[in-house]
Chain A
Amino acid sequence: MVNGAWWPLALSEAVPVDAPVGVVCGDQEFVLFRNSQGEVCAVEDRCPHRRVPLSGGKVVEGHIRCPYHGWTFDGRSGACVAIPNLSADEKVPSSYRVTTHVVAEKNGFVNVWIGEGSPTTELPFDGDNAQGVATSGAGVVAMSFPDYRTAFIDGPQVLIDMTGVSFTDFFLGDPKREGDMLVTDRGADWGSSQKSASRWKPDYPLILRTETSLSNGVMVVRLLSQLETPLLSLQLAAAPGRRNTTAFSWRAYVHPEFAKAAPLKWRLARALGQPAVRLTNTPDPVEISQIPIALSIELDQAPALSGHRTLVAE
């Protein structure tokens, strides 16, 4: 039996009340939209009539309507509720429906259950006590999902720009398994995010912790003080896209403690409106190619990602 998992595929605010959104995870295509109660629904992004993507359609009275011939579907049951050109006394067969998927919106993300088994009650980012001022974003990278994940573990600096913070690749110990997360620590310092911190400093004042899920695309970055006080949390949700790309969405929280710990230069940058965190759509390919393989070898020891072999290159 292949174990399923929750995959966060969009930020909540990315799914508006009046329009559908198409998302992809591996070889599966979904359309997300909100019903008339504002609840998010997830159905297969394929009209069963003529296979046209429903994500190009409209949300009409809380249902998803295909852009081609107007066939309209309920997001919860999947039932076809209307074939518009039929007359009022003609019924739509009850067997006409689109495939629905279990979906849950929580912690600022829209999550879809993918795979076998009953959905768990625990959702991505549950228990994550991120707090503070939040920013968010989304994008697509021309990297395969496995490569994105290993780059995140071995060299997060090529994917993430934390303004005013220099990462290092001096790993503080080896990766640890905590539940289904692979956790790694490395030193970090205040300074330019475009350069690695000095190797000669006796102690780094900051810890950069990455947490990578072994069952879905959840990745978390925590910037901690040397005494492990949380300063900044980045919740990152990645998913394998088409043509070996990776789609990602993220939300970053700057904790109240950050302002106290950060140098004046960092606080001034915030006051001037510079973002605390940026994730790039176009990581430097030379930098990527130069990331030594290190901590990510632990992934080889972990079980294959949810059994979805199309999602992870073996």
Chain B
Amino acid sequence: MSMTETFHDATATSADATNKPRKPGFVDWTPIQYDMRDTWFPVAHAPHVTDRPIRRMVHSQAYYLWREQGVVFASEFPPGCQEASRHMASEFTGGTGFYPVVERHGYVWAWYGNPDQATHDLLPHIPFLKRDGSHIPNYMRTVVRFDACSALSVENLLDLTHADFLHGELVGGEGEAKSDEVTFEFTSETLTRTRWVTGKPVSPVMRWVAGVRAQYQDFRSTLHVHLRSNLCISYPRFEPGADVPNVQPFVPVGKHRSRVDQIFNLHQAKTPFRQLMPQMAKVVGPQDNSVMRPQNPRYLYAQDRRDMHSRFDAPGARYRFLMQQLWERQKQGDYSYGHDADPGGDITKILGMDKALD
């Protein structure tokens, strides 16, 4: 069963909000330690996997990807080395050297965990991308590298108020808006955050690239997060303006770095916004890294001080709690999915869409 909470108050924390020593039972947020298993990761854009092998990393585990006559393979070892290296094959491939792999929604997905538990039912549903990956032009794909662990990168996306300051000249409007509300829903495996903003000054990118002439616009942004993989499915809707649905899979390369192979669906948007919007990642990415890069080392070890929160952090606080709970289960060897979770379930309505593409 999912739960919905709406926060309108200025604070979402306990009274212990100062720099006092932590109370017994306080568990600091150390996301770099989390190594969640039994999940699919979109390890590459499908067109990037060709007959020339490429290498990706997930939680420091190597994934070699290549095609033979169009069929994709994912292995712990470079092609041609499987037999010689089989004795070194890990539990992640069940001793075969090959990971479970599948193509869907324009990505190559590989399984991280016990290969016997890999099932296509657990592949996330992305209603604005065709299941067969068609109709995704190259300009709607980007690659962004983040200088932080994947969980901190997801937090960056969960609290979009940072966009007013970090990406101000792109997104614009430092804090100004007529209203700004945040709600969230969650299961044991997912978190969905929705933010409604009204009366926000039109951002530069909307004005000069999307051609919005109004002075103010409203936007509704829904972000659906799969906790184990930190796959983020985002549906921002600007009025006046355009919808900018996109997928940001924050693949955990290791403790200090994560990688996003992002796909947009901008078929409803006008030129040149359609072509240029994905390129904004080249501006936004370095801006995010300017804070996340020094931030990451400060979450390496548990500290005595709680982070402070505003109401905009309610989804983020819940995200931390859910991740900590999931991690505790996995540390005990329980990699099962909760009975309330349906990671492959249809999220069309959750994202506020009328219908899926497929």
Smallest Cβ distance from A49 to chain B, in angstroms? 5
B291 at the interface (CB under 8 A from A): yes
CB-contacts of A58-81 with B (<8 A): 65-70, 80
Interface assignment of B166: CB less than 8 Å from any CB of chain A: yes
When distances are taken between beta carbons in the complex, the residues of chain A under 8 Å from B103 are none
Contact partners of A51 in chain B: CB under 8 A? 295, 298-299, 307
Q: Find chain A residues with CB under 8 A from B298 CB.
A: 46, 51
Complex formed: what's the CA distance from A67 to B164 in Å? 10
A69 to B162, CA, bound (A): 4
Chain B residues whose C-beta falls within 8 Å of the C-beta of A271 in the assembled complex: none
A85 & B312 in contact (Cβ 8 Å cutoff): yes
In the complex, A50 has a CB within 8 A of chain B: yes
A93→B17 contact, CB < 8 A = yes
Is B10 engaged at the interface, CB distance under 8 Å to the other chain? yes
Q: Quick check: B175 and A48 within 8 Å, CB to CB?
A: no
CB pair B174–A86 under 8 Å, yes or no, is no
Indicate if the CB atoms of B162 and A53 lie closer than 8 Å.
no
Residues of chain A with a CB closer than 8 A to B180's CB: 85, 87
Closest to A70 in B: B165
The reply to whether A84 and B175 contact each other, CB–CB distance below 8 Å, is yes
Question: How far is A97 from B19 in the complex, measured between Cα atoms in Å?
Answer: 8
Whether B1 sits at the interface, judged by CB under 8 Å, is: no
A52 interface hit (Cβ, 8 Å):
yes
A67 CB → nearest B CB, Å: 6
Task: Determine the interface band of chain B, counting residues with CB < 8 A from chain A.
Answer: 20 to 34
8 Å CB interface, A91-118 against B: 91-93, 95-97, 99
Contact check, A48 vs B308: say whether CB atoms are below 8 A apart. yes
Asked if B161 lies at the interface with its beta carbon under 8 angstroms from chain A, I say: yes
> Which residues of B have CB within 8 Å of A53?
294
Contacts of A50 in B (CB 8 A): 155, 295, 307
A243 to chain B, nearest CB (A): 12
B287-321 interface code vs A (CB 8 A; 1 in, 0 out):
00011001100110000010111111100000000
A27 at the interface (CB under 8 A from B): no
Whether A49 contacts B291 in the complex (CB less than 8 A), given A87-B179, A90-B10, A97-B18, comes out as: no
- Chain B contacts for A52, CB-based, 8 A: 291, 294-295
The one of A56, A65, A69, A87 that contacts B290, using a Cβ cutoff of 8 Å? A56
Q: Are B310 and A83 in contact (CB under 8 A)?
A: yes
Q: Say yes or no: is B177 at the interface (Cβ < 8 Å to chain A).
A: yes
Q: How far is the CA of A56 from the CA of B291 in the complex (A)?
A: 8
Residues of A within 8 A of B308 (CB): 48-49, 80, 96
Most A CB contacts (10 A, CB to CB) among B162, B309, B313 go to B162
CA A69 – CA B160 in complex, angstroms? 9
Assuming the contacts A56-B294, A84-B175, A85-B180, asked whether A69 and B165 have C-beta atoms less than 8 A apart, the reply is yes
Residues 1-16 of B, flagged 1 when their CB comes within 8 A of A and 0 if not, give 0000000011101010
Neighbouring B residues of A84 by C-beta, 8 Å: 161, 164-165, 174-175
- Given known A50-B155, A85-B164, contact A68–B310 (CB-CB < 8 A): no
Please state if A70 and B175 are interface contacts (CB–CB under 8 Å). Answer: yes
- Alpha-carbon distance between A112 and B312 when the two chains are bound, in angstroms: 34
B109 to chain A, nearest CB (A): 31
**CB interface residues, B 94-118, toward A, < 8 Å:** none
Contact between B165 and A95, CB atoms less than 8 A apart: no
Name the contact of B17 in the complex, choosing from A68, A85, A96 (C-beta under 8 A). Answer: A96
Q: Which residues of B contact A46 (CB under 8 A)?
A: 298
Chain A's nearest CB lies how many Å from the CB of B179?
Answer: 7
Q: Is B261 an interface residue (CB 8 A)?
A: no
In the complex, chain B residues whose CB is within 8 Å of the CB of A65: 165
Tell me whether B307 and A68 are in contact (CB under 8 A).
no
A4 shortest CB reach to chain B, Å:
19
Query: Is A95 within 8 A of B15, CB to CB?
Result: yes
Question: Which chain B positions have C-beta within 8 A of A93?
Answer: 10-11, 13, 17
Q: Which residue of B lies closest to A58 (CB)?
A: B165
Name the residue on A nearest B11 (C-beta). A93
Q: Which residues of A contact B18 (CB under 8 A)?
A: 95-97
Cβ-based interface call for B159 (8 A)? yes
Report the minimum CB–CB distance from B164 to chain A (whole Å): 7
Known: A69-B165, A83-B310, A85-B177. A95 touches B17 (CB 8 A): yes
With A and B bound together, what is the CA distance between A91 and B19 in angstroms? 19
Q: How far is the CA of A96 from the CA of B10 in the complex (A)?
A: 12
- Least CB distance from A66 to B in Å reads 8
Contact across chains for B291 and A85 when beta carbons are under 8 A apart: no
Residues of chain A from 230 to 257 with CB closer than 8 A to chain B in the complex: none
Q: Which of A50, A53, A97, A99 has the most CB of B within 10 A?
A: A50
Complex Cα distance A50/B159, Å?
11
Contacts of B15 on A, CB cut-off 8 Å?
95
* Nearest-CB residue, chain A, relative to B15: A95
CA of A83 to CA of B175, assembled, Å: 9
- Residues of B156-185 at the interface with A, using a CB-CB cut-off of 8 Å, are 159, 161-162, 164-166, 174-175, 177, 179-180
Residues from chain B with Cβ under 8 Å of A91 in the complex: 10
Residues of B contacting A49 with CB < 8 Å? 307-310, 313
Contacts A46-B298, A51-B295, A95-B17; A86 near B165 (Cβ below 8 A): no
Interface residues of A in 10-67 (CB under 8 A from B): 46, 48-53, 56, 65-67
Closest to A97 in B: B18
A309 to chain B, nearest CB (A): 19
Could you jot down 11 A-B contacts, CB within 8 Å? A49-B313, A50-B295, A50-B307, A52-B291, A52-B294, A53-B294, A68-B165, A69-B165, A87-B180, A90-B311, A92-B10
Which are the 7 A-B pairs with shortest beta-carbon distances? A84-B175, A90-B10, A51-B298, A85-B161, A70-B165, A68-B291, A52-B291
Interface residues of A (CB under 8 A from B): 46, 48-53, 56, 65-70, 80, 83-87, 90-93, 95-97, 99
Interface residues of B (CB under 8 A from A): 9-11, 13, 15, 17-19, 155, 159, 161-162, 164-166, 174-175, 177, 179-180, 290-291, 294-295, 298-299, 305, 307-313
